[in-house]
Amino acid sequence: MSILRLNKVSLVGLTEHKPTLLEALQVLGVMHVIPLQEVEPRSTSDESVNPERLKRALQYLLSSREKRRQVVRLKQFNLSEMLDRIDHNRTQRLDLMARRDFLEKRITDLTPWGDFILPELADLAGQKLWFYLVPNYKLPAVESSGLTWCCVHRDNRHAYVVVLSEDEPDANRMPVTRTFTGNIPLSQLEQNLEDLEIELEAVEAEREALTRWIYQLQRCIADTEDRAFLADVSDQTLDYEDIFAIQGWVAESSVADIERFAKSHQLALLIEQPKPDELPPTLLDNPEKLRGGQELVSFFQMPGYRSWDPSRVVFFSFAAFFAIIMSDAGYAALMGLVLIYYWKDMSSSETSRRLRSLAVTLTATSLVWGVLVGSYFGANAPFSWLATLKILDLQDFDAMMRFSITFGALHLVLANLMMAWVRRSQLEAWASVGWALAVLSCLLGWLQGFHFIHWFVFVIALLAVLLMSNQQDKWQLRQVIWGTLALTNITKLFGDVLSYLRLFALGLASASLAITFNQLSVDVANALPGIGVFLQLLILLAGHMLNFVLTVVSGVIHGLRLNLIEFYNWSLADEGYAFRPFSKQEVTPWTT
């Protein structure tokens, strides 16, 4: 079991020592606090250094491409002044980027017209220049307009027409509305853009210089959140005259730490086991390399305290599902290269390191499965010794369907057996065993041909579901009604097993797309000698990149879906909430 057992701990001390004791308890960081009274929301007193502004400033610096060495040892740090500098830099950068985008678009639009300065009205005897961007197919309408005009530039789509007229031509005489070119010449716009780029580089350099304060900002954010957490817990304690009490859940492995804490601070201590009607938080504990599955489980649904931890099953089954959907060793190798490129970036936090471990497992599993099915970017093995490792054929529909159905059925058998283990002290456990036997008997009957033993086990399994669902203290007739309603889930179970066919379907779709792009590139190369080679490379690159992205997305979505919907429905009966220790945040300094 990787759900740690918890004890309820109550500490009682003197109110005059409460701030010091709570701060020490926060440093210890082993208790999930139980509120003993309602807490009213607190308002932020200093808006200049509120947490949202801090996080915005930190995110702005973290998104910088280049970062400076961090300032770790510092006696004084003016947070308000630093935030003002960061906000000013951020605002200035956004303004410059908006102006640059405007100038770039303006220059792009004006380049076909050329570099010119509009003449004074007196130079043209009161006439004015009017500019029109006319589609080529509408140019005959300009010719028949009777206006004085000139085409100064023309491309494969538009004609750039200048009309000489005292007043703007009527809308019915020109086929399009006029284009506004402005009175600033192209050369001046280009000079403005160059000046602006220099100014933007200076702002970027200042931003890069500010990144040396990232660690200090992280410390400030952590301190702010720690103080807020401490204040909330202080409000949740029960105060009575000169004493106060704090209560919370503590892992059994940390009880000794609490005992030493209570003894050193001269506190009264009471340790209790959870009562049957209490629902403690869920504290998961898995090996570091397998905690990627814990992240997936925590993101979707935290199991109840008295349930079981599906993290390890989800970790390995998700990797297997992802590999089957990808079904290509070449794509797995490409994913490995992407992982290597982002390896350092994925070490910045504990969560990213856990997901990195999961990504390594996905890559390795996909590579092994791709070799077993003998697919390398939709082609055969490039070496003869690799070809000998192929033991499965994606084009063998019957075999792959049997494999997918068998995999899914065994996955749901495991789900029901785990549910039975959780309910082992109740007769309802036999209902879960019944569902597991029903799936197993049908699977063996489908693979081997139905015989008497298969039908016999199937009937016994359904009887267990009928009689053991929703058991009470003593048997009553209404339990048969509940059992009958429970039997209607047989259609749901059948649909869930068939849902695993998506593994075969998506794997076949990925392989078929890869083969199609390969064949299409060969056909183009043969049909167009010379340039066909370039088009062949373009089709291979674009096609396989598109297929790779679709495969990864499908593998993640459907791999998670089979675990967190089909598997969860039969293995978890209740939902819990996460253990949140009353602790201080740790900020680790880093250097570039």
What are 43's strand-pairing partners? none
pTM across the whole model: 0.76
What are 238's strand-pairing partners? 245
Which comes out higher in pLDDT, residue 472 or 424?
424
Q: What pLDDT band is residue 256 in, cutting at 50, 70 and 90?
A: very high
% residues pLDDT > 90 (the chain): 49
Q: Please, is 563 exposed, middle or buried when counting C-beta atoms within 10 Å of its C-beta (0-12, 13-18, 19+)?
A: buried
Q: What pLDDT band is residue 203 in, cutting at 50, 70 and 90?
A: very high
Per the CB < 8 A criterion, the answer to whether 535 and 353 are in contact is no
Question: pLDDT digit string (tens) for 54-105?
Answer: 889 989 998 888 888 888 877 677 888 899 999 999 999 999 999 999 999 9
Task: Using the predicted structure, report yes or no on whether residue 206 has a pLDDT greater than 70.
Answer: yes
Distance CA(342)–CA(324), nearest Å, equals 24
The pairing of strands 238-240 and 268-272 is: unpaired
Per-residue tokens: 370: 């791709």
Distance CA(284)–CA(290), nearest Å, equals 12
Q: What pLDDT band is residue 472 in, cutting at 50, 70 and 90?
A: low
Distance CA(591)–CA(69), nearest Å, equals 5
Q: What pLDDT band is residue 590 in, cutting at 50, 70 and 90?
A: low
Task: Using the predicted structure, report yes or no on whether residue 41 has a pLDDT greater than 80.
Answer: no
Instruction: Give the relative orientation of helices 79-110 and 186-210 as an angle to the nearest 10 degrees.
Output: 160
Which comes out higher in pLDDT, residue 436 or 224?
436
Task: Using the predicted structure, report yes or no on whether residue 121 has a pLDDT greater than 70.
Answer: yes
Question: pLDDT digit string (tens) for 548-583?
Answer: 999 999 999 999 999 988 998 898 878 889 999 999
Task: Using the predicted structure, report yes or no on whether residue 136 has a pLDDT greater than 70.
Answer: yes
Per the CB < 8 A criterion, the answer to whether 509 and 487 are in contact is no
Question: What distance, in Å, lies between the first and last C-alpha atoms of the chain?
Answer: 40
Instruction: Give the relative orientation of helices 397-422 and 501-527 as an angle to the nearest 10 degrees.
Output: 150
Out of 86-90, 142-146, 293-297, 471-475, the most confident range is: 86-90
Question: pLDDT digit string (tens) for 320-374?
Answer: 999 999 999 999 999 999 999 988 878 777 788 888 999 999 999 999 999 999 8
Question: pLDDT digit string (tens) for 483-510?
Answer: 788 888 899 999 999 999 999 899 999 9
What are 251's strand-pairing partners? 6
Average pLDDT, the chain: 88
3-state secondary structure string across 487-517: HCHHHHHHHHHHHCHHHHHHHHHHHHHHHHH
Q: Between the CA of residue 42 and those of 51, 54, 231, 295, what are the distances in Å?
A: 13, 18, 9, 31
Per-residue tokens: 462: 């359904």
> Helix (H) and strand (E) counts for the chain?
20, 8
**What is the pLDDT averaged over residues 301-310?**
89
Name the nearest CA neighbour of 299 among 553, 502, 568, 32.
568
Q: What is the pLDDT of residue 109?
A: 86
Question: pLDDT digit string (tens) for 384-439?
Answer: 888 888 888 888 888 889 999 999 999 999 999 999 998 888 888 888 999 999 99
What are 14's strand-pairing partners? 243
Q: What is the pLDDT of residue 450?
A: 86
Task: Using the predicted structure, report yes or no on whether residue 133 has a pLDDT greater than 80.
Answer: yes
Residue type, 214: I
